[in-house]
Copies of this chain bind each other. A is one copy, B any other.
């Protein structure tokens, strides 16, 4: 049996209400008894039961964080931002990894709801939020990362995706590339749509016709392997002379895979084909890689998400919140362009 407030009350011959008060540093309590209680508590190794406390207070001081791929360094970086901000705000994080799987995501969101988290930060695995209806019904405070949910009460922390790919295309064209392909992440992803929009917008600006056969998408897992395989297909699909001379990838992982495929085909990066990624994960800056990429402020995004979530939690009123917090991406020009 763990030591509870009651045990220590008995030891001291006071009521357990007093103990509770003393431990919570309540003003109305004799300094002396307070001291005695605290001493005893330490002596007995008392640990408050947060579960019981949560039942009474209706707040658990924990927030749920649902990400789709802990294996993509982008997300650990975001998670660190969330977590450190949480630590300073006095919250703990439930970190769940959906693996881009809707069912798992739904399962986690439900579990989190049942565990009475005070709020939720989520990068949904899909823009179709049907599986999250309980979330939406539950009126829980939530903020989204990298995904825009056009609904009141929710705010999204995102990067200006359109601007990101626009910068990428501008840079490519300035460097003389003309046949620019886009390796995306599936039509349904919000960020993908936006990045594609920026791509097309920039091409139009430079009077370059959008070529549908230059726009492709991997499905589900946005990792090196997918990038590798898709690029390989592209490499065989076109005559050598008709190949794109540059490709913009949805993220760095995809870009890394793309580069592998290009090199394997005995082509050079960037001389034959230039490659640009998105995210700027730490490995992209290694001297062997030096991937040109559109950097997202990952840590800040996590931090901001948590801070606005906490604000929302604390303002129990119907205060208005921005529905989007848009950060500016930065093009890091390295050696693959």
15 extra interface residue pairs, beta carbon distance < 8 Å, beyond A49-B116, A70-B80: A45-B134, A45-B138, A47-B113, A51-B51, A51-B115, A60-B115, A71-B76, A71-B77, A71-B80, A83-B97, A93-B95, A224-B282, A224-B286, A259-B288, A288-B289
Chain A interface size, as a band, is 35 or more
- Residue among B2, B52, B115, B286 making CB contact with A55, cutoff 8 Å: B52
Given contacts A51-B60, A95-B94, A114-B47, contact A104 B87 (CB under 8 A): yes
Cα-based distance from A138 to B70 in the complex (angstroms): 31
Given contacts A80-B70, A111-B92, contact A51 B116 (CB under 8 A): yes
Closest 9 CB pairs of A and B: A95-B95, A288-B288, A50-B114, A70-B76, A50-B115, A51-B116, A283-B283, A51-B54, A51-B55
Which residues of chain B have C-beta atoms less than 8 A from A92's C-beta?
94, 96, 108, 111-112, 115
Report which A residues bind B (CB closer than 8 A): 2, 45, 47-52, 54-55, 60, 62, 70-71, 73, 76-77, 79-80, 83, 87, 92-97, 104, 107-108, 110-116, 134, 137-138, 224, 256, 259-260, 263-264, 282-283, 286-289
The majority secondary structure among interface residues of chain A is: helix
The count of identical subunits is 2
Which residues of chain B have C-beta atoms less than 8 A from A55's C-beta?
49, 51-52, 55
Q: List 14 A-B contacts (CB under 8 A).
A: A45-B134, A47-B113, A51-B55, A51-B60, A51-B116, A70-B76, A70-B79, A71-B76, A73-B76, A92-B115, A95-B95, A224-B282, A259-B288, A288-B288
